[in-house]
Amino acid sequence: MISLKKILGLGIIVYSMLACEGYLAEKPSSSLAIPSTVADFQALVDYQARMNEYYPDCGDNASDYFYLEAADWNARPEWGRDTYVWNAQADASRDWLVCYEKIFYTNTILQGIDDAALGGLNEIDRRHVKGSAFFLRGWTYLHLVPLFTPAYDASIANSPYGLPLRLTPDINAETIRSSLGDTYEQIESDLLAAIRLLPERPVLATRPSKAAAHAALARMYLMKGQFEDALTHADSCLAIQSELMDYNAIDTSVFNSFDELNPEVIFHAELQGQSGLLAPSYARVDSSLIQLYSHGDLRLSVFYTKRPDGSWQFKGSYEGTNYTIFAGLATDEVYLIKAECLIRLGDLSNGIDVMRKLLVNRWRKGTSPELNKISDSETALEFVLMERRKELAFRGGVRWADLKRLNKDERFAKVLIRDIDGVTYELEPNDPRYSFLIPTEVVLMSGVLQNER
């Protein structure tokens, strides 16, 4: 079998894909080994440094659940500082780069897996590798959408502000920006294909599964406002994997509250984190978020710890170490998607029941939020959105997407504010800066449409 290291030589040059009508500025060397067996392609799926790590973090760096002291902000690289204060020219090219590198690998798998020799494996293994590639491509595009496209609305589905959809590893393929609707349709197509091919649950949550694809589709449909479809896939996911941890059993005295691959993890992924903005040594939890946790809510002590100066830092990453932020899929998010969709569709009673099932595992035994007092859909929706904010803070890829979709509803639109060294920065709802700039090199060499400013 070809070694993983040698196979990955195919993609090393991908780092030059910022400049392209294709991915690369030059072709890979002909001396590099080409994957030829199902096991070779499985090795690419299992390469965690490419498929499970380095998901984009600029949206989280720009989100409202944390703040930086001036000295810490000044110590960060310029592109990180710009993202934090929503500079109109903030450089998000690193996030673009790592995502399209992942997409290159998935396209390499999809191009070769049908003809790959079994090499001691079987056709079921082939199906699972192919399904994994479909999942990883759709999942990666799903991370890119909140960063580089407008918030979805059916009225702008035909707008030309979607993503360039790379569906081949051909480095010479033309780069064309698709419509917003076509972008979402491609994500949907990839994830539905993954459902048809993958096992219900993987050996380890570092590999994709049917449950993960259903969860990703539930998130995507929620972003689109297609609540019936989001509910369908949330239910399908929870029919396969529905475990919730009882936070009463969590040791809050340790540096990190959770083990890696804890029972709620459906698919494990981590943020890129190159700017360091979200590192516990820098990021302080926004006080308005801390104030949302009532007496009896265990998440305050499970997710956070108090600094000597009285501020709070995060210590509850499902990634397992607190050195990087979890950016994968977990059952708690799926319960929240299900509850929100039920409430938006008018099923208040069942929506509250879903929240009750989640929160009984989050509150100290003998205490609970007063869910019985929620008697109307407006209050219930406000409640579940507040719970999303509390449960999914420091959950990579979630809050920025939530801010964008909720900004379309004046009831939940929010002005974001940063204060640094006496200078106030603001981001108004629906501001064009909610979509980061396409890397300049891509625009110059391919001619794709740049995001508005």
Closest to 340 (Cα-Cα) out of 392, 415, 286: 392
Report residue 31: phi and psi, to 5°: -80, -10
Tell whether the torsion through CA atoms of 221, 107, 45 and 317 is positive or negative. Answer: negative
Instruction: Answer yes or no: are the C-beta atoms of 407 and 63 closer than 8 Å.
Output: no
Angle in degrees, CA 334, 337, 340, rounded to 5:
150
Give the per-residue pLDDT at 300. Answer: 97
> 4-248+330-446 architecture in CATH?
Alpha Horseshoe (1.25)
Give the per-residue pLDDT at 172. Answer: 87
Residue ranges in the chain modelled with pLDDT below 70: 1-33
Q: Which residue has the tokens 């400013």?
A: 453
Q: Which residues contact 28 (CB under 8 A, 6 or more apart)?
A: 9, 10, 11, 12, 13, 171
Give the per-residue pLDDT at 255. Answer: 85
Q: Which residues lie across from 330 on neighbouring strands?
A: 265
Rounded Cα–Cα distance for residues 406 and 393 (Å): 16
In the numeric block, which tokens belong to residue 185? 């349709």
Give the per-residue pLDDT at 368. Answer: 85
